[in-house]
């Protein structure tokens, strides 16, 4: 286990370094002068130069890169060009909102997908199976920026059950979470089905049946438990799509999270904030994948022993 842990941590560190640098260079390489955007075209050359100095934009690019990396590791992401406020402070207000949305969406996806996948696998080839997989196909194919407005039309404007947008009140998270969670639910139910089907073909399942266990026990205790492993890894990867989708979902529902902040700062050309938002979401993704991999190794001894 220790050697696996070390190699995996090492890789995560490398990826974080790479992600950080990639974000930095992309933003600096993109055409468009932030100073021009901030001051407008009428500003005098002296003012521009002064601001450029203040932002550290006159330093060589490698030096800027160095100070950006140091900043990331000391949790100092600079100052917002627009709000004149430390970026960390800005993020603080927003990441909890994104976290709330992502966790709610994840919970909805799991609650829908697992029973659906299990039913589809247990009754393979029946109407149940077709129904579940039909739902899955629709779920993958419906873009969240269409599903969101449709839900609003029916449940907010039509029935008045939930607010149209914002984060006020207890019910506010429901529609955004369904919007974001649907595609994950669709993919997850497929994964549960195929993983479970594979396990159900194994010899130990036949043994379990032969020794007279009930269908439910065979399915849950022997089937699902063993089907978990591949699902877990894929789930970690899918969380990335969930975080990406959160950006669009937040815009649809005016949800005050990192995604809204990202789009807003893109429009305002607030580079430090754009940089920070991309970084925070990517870091979250890297961490989730790291945790999934470690969990996987912990659950399945074969993984960690491969590396010793």
Partner 1 sequence: MIRPVWPVVVLLLWALVALTASWLPLQPDRIALEAILHGPALQYWLGADDLGRPVFDRVLVGARTSFLVAGWVVSLSVTAGTLLGSMAAYLGGVWDRALVMIIDIFMAFPGILLAIALAGLLGPGIENLIFALTLVGWVGYARLARAQVLSVKRREHVVAAQALGTGTARIVMRHLVPLISAPLVVEATFGVAAVVIAESGLSFLGLGVQPPEASWGSMIRDGVRYMLVAPHLVLVPGGALFLVVLSVNLLGDRLRDHLDVRSIRRTMEQGTGK
List of residues contacting partner 1 (CB under 8 A): 11, 14-16, 18-19, 22-23, 26-27, 30-32, 137-138, 140-143, 145-146, 149-150, 152-153, 157, 233, 240-241, 243-245, 247-248, 251-252, 262-263, 266-267, 274, 278, 281-282, 285-286, 289
CB of 214 to partner 1, least distance (A): 31
CB of 105 to partner 1, least distance (A): 14
DSSP three-state, residue 79: strand
Measured from the CB atom, the residue of 56 and 143 that comes closer to partner 1 is 143
Q: How many residues would you count in the chain? A: 308
Q: Quote the Cα angle for 218-132-246, to 5°.
A: 110
> Are 103 and 178 spatial neighbours (Cβ–Cβ below 8 Å)?
no
Name residue, tokens 């974000």: 23
Measured from the CB atom, the residue of 16 and 119 that comes closer to partner 1 is 16
Nearest to 283 by CA among 22, 6, 2: 22
Measured from the CB atom, the residue of 17 and 204 that comes closer to partner 1 is 17
Distance CA(12)–CA(258), nearest Å, equals 22
> Are 59 and 257 spatial neighbours (Cβ–Cβ below 8 Å)?
no
Measured from the CB atom, the residue of 25 and 216 that comes closer to partner 1 is 25
Distance CA(236)–CA(243), nearest Å, equals 11
CB of 62 to partner 1, least distance (A): 19
Distance CA(67)–CA(62), nearest Å, equals 9
CB of 45 to partner 1, least distance (A): 24
Distance CA(14)–CA(9), nearest Å, equals 9
CB of 120 to partner 1, least distance (A): 14
CB of 210 to partner 1, least distance (A): 28
Measured from the CB atom, the residue of 23 and 224 that comes closer to partner 1 is 23
> Are 218 and 74 spatial neighbours (Cβ–Cβ below 8 Å)?
no
> Are 9 and 22 spatial neighbours (Cβ–Cβ below 8 Å)?
no
């Amino acid at each position: 286990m220790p050697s696996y842990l070390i190699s995996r941590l090492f890789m995560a560190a490398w990826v974080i370094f790479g992600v950080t640098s990639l974000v930095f260079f992309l933003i600096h390489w993109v055409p468009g002068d932030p100073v021009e955007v901030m001051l407008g075209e009428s500003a005098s050359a002296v003012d521009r130069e002064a601001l450029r100095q203040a932002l550290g934009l006159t330093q060589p690019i490698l030096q800027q890169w160095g100070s950006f990396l140091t900043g990331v590791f000391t949790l100092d992401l600079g100052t917002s060009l627009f709000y004149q406020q430390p970026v960390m402070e800005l993020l603080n207000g927003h990441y909890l909102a994104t976290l709330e949305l992502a966790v709610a969406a994840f919970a909805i996806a799991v609650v829908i997908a697992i029973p659906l996948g299990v039913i589809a696998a247990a009754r393979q080839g029946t109407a149940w199976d077709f129904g579940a997989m039909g739902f899955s196909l629709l779920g993958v194919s419906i873009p969240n920026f269409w599903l969101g407005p449709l839900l609003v039309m029916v449940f907010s404007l039509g029935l008045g059950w939930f607010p149209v947008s914002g984060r006020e009140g207890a019910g506010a998270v429901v529609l955004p979470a369904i919007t974001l969670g649907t595609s994950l639910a669709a993919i997850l139910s497929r994964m549960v089905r195929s993983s479970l089907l594979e396990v159900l073909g194994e010899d130990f399942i036949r043994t379990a049946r032969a020794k007279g266990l009930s269908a439910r026990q065979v399915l849950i205790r022997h089937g699902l438990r063993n089907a978990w492993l591949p699902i877990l890894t894929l789930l970690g990867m899918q969380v990335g799509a969930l975080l990406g989708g959160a950006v669009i979902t937040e815009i649809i529902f005016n949800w005050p999270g990192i995604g809204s902040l990202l789009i807003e700062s893109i429009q305002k050309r607030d580079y430090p904030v754009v940089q920070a938002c991309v970084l925070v979401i990517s870091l979250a993704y890297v961490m989730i994948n790291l945790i999934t991999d470690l969990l996987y190794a912990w659950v399945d001894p074969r993984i960690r022993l491969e590396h010793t």
